[in-house]
Structure 1
Amino acid sequence: MKELTKAEEEIMQVLWELDSVFVKDIITQLPEPKPAYNTVSTIVRILQQKGFVGHEIHGKSHKYYPLISKEAYTKSFMKGFVKRYFSGSYQQMVSFFTKEDKLSLNELEQLLNELKAKKP
């Protein structure tokens, strides 16, 4: 799965949140300064070419929806991130963030227990 640019990810966040929208709806959800309609429309078409977005035709307009779930993208992104920056080792990644964020072992254990509880 290809990585998203910052602008593409910003638009995907809106699509993941709202599920099915027109370009004008995407623009209303974006922070100020609002990008031009043509800019957002171009990014959405790029996302379609990459296979992230599909559309339905409504008269002369297109309504866009995500083809890739946020969870699937996050999983793919994180795998690539861990591979590139931590030699594929989640242990190294956790160790890094534990040191950087001064996360205590108790806090880490609590987080792991919460994650285990969420698993089906």
Structure 2
Amino acid sequence: MSSTQLGRVQLLIMQVLWAKRRATARQITDAINEIEPIAHSTVQTLLRGLEEKGSVSHETEGRTFVFLPLVVEDEFKQNATRDLLDRVFSGNVGKLVTHLLKNENVPKEEIDEIRKFINRRSKK
């Protein structure tokens, strides 16, 4: 489960499920359509694939499937970050942070927050 890789739209589906904790395919479709257009049939197909991967399950309420995430969001983020760090930056956190600060438009507030975190970690 922890090594589950998700495509971009699969991740959108999981983000909806993490936020709502449980949702029908229609509710998921509607939530994603607020961000970008997606066909309901596409969401249904991707949900079946996510079930096969063991990332979601469903309960039946009447004739409706209600989907639930089986992957914990924080665990997914931790594993995805570790995978990126290992594959792209050879496990070097400093290279990842440097790359982000050089190539992304990081607002001053976020830099200040990062600096505070680094200072707290340095004192430990």
Residues 1-120 of structure 1 aligned to structure 2 (within 5 Å): 1-31=3-33, 32-35=36-39, 37-101=40-104, 108=111, 110-114=113-117
Aligned-partner residue type, residue 25 of structure 2:
V
Q: 2 CA distance for matches of 1:110 and 1:44?
A: 37
Deviation at 1:102, TM superposition (A): 7.3
Q: 2 CA distance for matches of 1:66 and 1:77?
A: 17
Aligned-partner residue type, residue 13 of structure 2:
I
Deviation at 1:72, TM superposition (A): 0.9
Unaligned runs of 5+ in 1: none
Runs of 4+ in 1 over 6 A off after TM superposition: none
Deviation at 1:62, TM superposition (A): 1.0
Using CA pairs under 8 Å that are at least 6 residues apart, name the structure with larger relative contact order, 1 or 2: 2
Q: 1 CA distance for matches of 2:18 and 2:43?
A: 16
Identity %: 27
Any idea what the Cα deviations from partners look like across 1:41-79, whole Å, max 9, x if unmatched?
A: 110111111111011111222100111121111110000
Unaligned runs of 5+ in 2: none
Query: TM-score, normalization: structure 2?
Result: 0.79
Deviation at 1:9, TM superposition (A): 0.7
Q: 1 CA distance for matches of 2:29 and 2:112?
A: 41
Root mean square deviation of aligned Cα: 2.6
Aligned-partner residue type, residue 91 of structure 1:
G
Deviation at 1:33, TM superposition (A): 2.4
Deviation at 1:3, TM superposition (A): 1.2
Q: Secondary structure at the match of 2:57?
A: strand
Any idea what the Cα deviations from partners look like across 1:75-102, whole Å, max 9, x if unmatched?
A: 1000000111101111211122233247
Q: Secondary structure at the match of 2:13?
A: helix
